[in-house]
Amino acid sequence: MNGAESLVHTLLAGGVEVAFTNPGTSEMHFVAALDRLAGMRCVLALFEGVATGAADGYARISGRPAATLLHLGPGLANGLANLHNARRAASPVVNVVGDHATYHRKYDAPLTSDIEALARPVSSWVRTARSAVEVAADGAAAIAAALAPPGRIATLILPADTAWQKADGAAARRNPPGRATVPSAAVGEAATALRAGAPEILLVGGPGLRGRGLRAAGRIAAATGARLMAATSNARIERGAGRVAVTRIPYVVDQALAMLAGTRHAVLAGAKAPVAFFAYPGKPSRLLPEDCAVHTLARADEDVAGALEALAEALDAAEGGVPVQARVAVSPPSGALDSDALARAIAAAIPENAIVADESITAGRSFYAATAGAPPHDWLQVTGGSIGCALPVATGAAVAAPERKVLCLHGDGGAMYTLQALWTQAREGLDVTTVIFANRAYRILEHEFAGVGAGAPGKRARDMLALDRPALDWVALARGMGVEGVRVDTADAFSTALGRGLATPGPYLVEAVI
């Protein structure tokens, strides 16, 4: 058994069963090990940002880490933007990055770079394997590090000779640390704050947006009158009919300030005190009122769901009778394909148990509210603000849950960063329907230009924010990667196309010209 084989055995023993790969020469022994050992599903990506984003999406749905396989420093670099998003999503990911053989590094061959330095800004754990016999233990440590609460990025750098030299065997699974129980004082402080009767919010994140955490949050809100809210962007929200509804803080600062005005107590459970996405001249960075008291019930890495249940008990919040979202049937729209028609068509189309990967940005500002009464589904967002996230996330989510429909809602500007994801969807036959909102502009930047006080954009500035010269043909781009698609510009055609995509297995793309 060589080092690479010991690592693959260790990954499988540790519950890592999917690898999103874009290998090169230095990774060939790892590829050979994947070849010989059954059990690891290998999903090839044609760009590393697809591999890392897919690992993020896989983790968000499965709760388990996937491996990525990346080629030296530049390969890791291409995956960093979506690792940044994955880090903000608290997704466990185990990166395996090949490097030159240990004895070859001193020659500074062309691909040599400081891989550890590149990995550190996005990784909670970075290690370079020192010898083949240590690789298995390194791999077990990487998995444990990725699974450490709340979910982290672990990067193991694998010099080629540590992959090809003889190893002793696999390493056993190492149990990651559990989520720490929240001190009773924190529960008590939160209970006191929520009993005060002053305007208050309960801001939840992570496990507070799913399952028992979300149900407990709903009990607390019902018992106290606190508003139940979440950050602007979240890794995953369980929502739709029959579930406790959560209001998201708006992206636009003035809207967020208006929504939070008057709040006297904010209780945080797996969430941070809300801040503006960007700074704007003359506007605050913090979104809560200055006289609002902030109480941390549970940090993101603590037992958020348990803390919410403890708080519900402390408040004597009833277990039954918690208001949940009603099913709201929406009929598909007709006529022009405006913002309202898009929202209604999507609300009408979301199937039961769907996964929605949302990077619709400006086109989709109304989608979240409009789809509240759809059948139960998961809503995944761009957590780190780095666009080019949802196409890969949808890809990984579909790998994690082949029995579920995945709907990817994507602005055209953002989709261009990682369009190679479509090829992986075609190759793997993934059941993803992608909607590209083709406004043919970085529309958000047209708003932001004025928002930061830069005035009205002139000719050169408009040109740098416009994607209409030439217009992108998304149906051709999809076809080029083996994905069928259609272009639509009316509400009726959009609904038909969406229905066709969701009803038919495999990937499909709808270019909505708006």
Within 379-408, which residues bind a copy of itself (CB under 8 A)?
383-386, 388
Residue from 53, 57, 73, 218 touching a copy of itself (CB under 8 A): that is: 73
Are the C-beta atoms of residues 10 and 37 closer than 8 Å to each other?
Answer: no
Q: Give the residue from 217, 235, 223, 171 showing the smallest Cα distance to 197.
A: 223
Of 240 and 485, which CB lies nearer to a copy of itself in the complex structure? 485
Of 130 and 272, which CB lies nearer to a copy of itself in the complex structure? 272
Q: Residue 22 class from Cβ within 10 Å (0-12 exposed, 13-18 middle, 19+ buried)?
A: buried
Is 352 a binding residue for a copy of itself by CB under 8 A? The answer is: no
Q: Residue 29 class from Cβ within 10 Å (0-12 exposed, 13-18 middle, 19+ buried)?
A: buried
Output the CA angle 43-48-54, nearest 5 degrees. 50
Residue from 329, 369, 464, 503 touching a copy of itself (CB under 8 A): that is: 464
Are the C-beta atoms of residues 1 and 8 closer than 8 Å to each other?
Answer: no
User: How many C-beta atoms lie closer than 10 Å to residue 453's C-beta?
Assistant: 10
Within 279-298, which residues bind a copy of itself (CB under 8 A)?
279, 281, 285-286
**Sheet strands (E) in 168-244:** 200-204, 227-230, 237-239
- Structure tokens that stand for 424 in this block: 């992986």
Is 250 a binding residue for a copy of itself by CB under 8 A? The answer is: no
Number of residues located near a copy of itself, criterion CB under 8 A: 100
C-alpha 177/C-alpha 144 separation (Å) is 8
Within 119-138, which residues bind a copy of itself (CB under 8 A)?
120-122
Q: Which stretch binds a copy of itself (CB under 8 A): 53-61, 82-90, 178-186, 312-320?
A: 82-90
- The 3-class SS string of 129-177 reads CCCHHHHHHHHHHHHHHHHCCCCCEEEEEEEHHHHHCECCCCCCCCCCC
Of 300 and 343, which CB lies nearer to a copy of itself in the complex structure? 300
Of 370 and 382, which CB lies nearer to a copy of itself in the complex structure? 382
Of 367 and 474, which CB lies nearer to a copy of itself in the complex structure? 474
Within 477-496, which residues bind a copy of itself (CB under 8 A)?
477, 479-482
Are the C-beta atoms of residues 384 and 88 closer than 8 Å to each other?
Answer: yes
Within 170-199, which residues bind a copy of itself (CB under 8 A)?
none
Of 64 and 100, which CB lies nearer to a copy of itself in the complex structure? 100
Q: Which stretch binds a copy of itself (CB under 8 A): 73-81, 213-221, 252-260, 367-375?
A: 73-81
Within 49-68, which residues bind a copy of itself (CB under 8 A)?
49
The three-class DSSP label of residue 44 is strand
**How far apart are the two ends of the chain, measured CA to CA in Å?**
57
Q: Which stretch binds a copy of itself (CB under 8 A): 38-46, 124-132, 197-205, 302-310?
A: 38-46
Of 100 and 344, which CB lies nearer to a copy of itself in the complex structure? 100
CB of 76 to a copy of itself, least distance (A): 9
Q: Which stretch binds a copy of itself (CB under 8 A): 138-146, 300-308, 400-408, 415-423?
A: 415-423
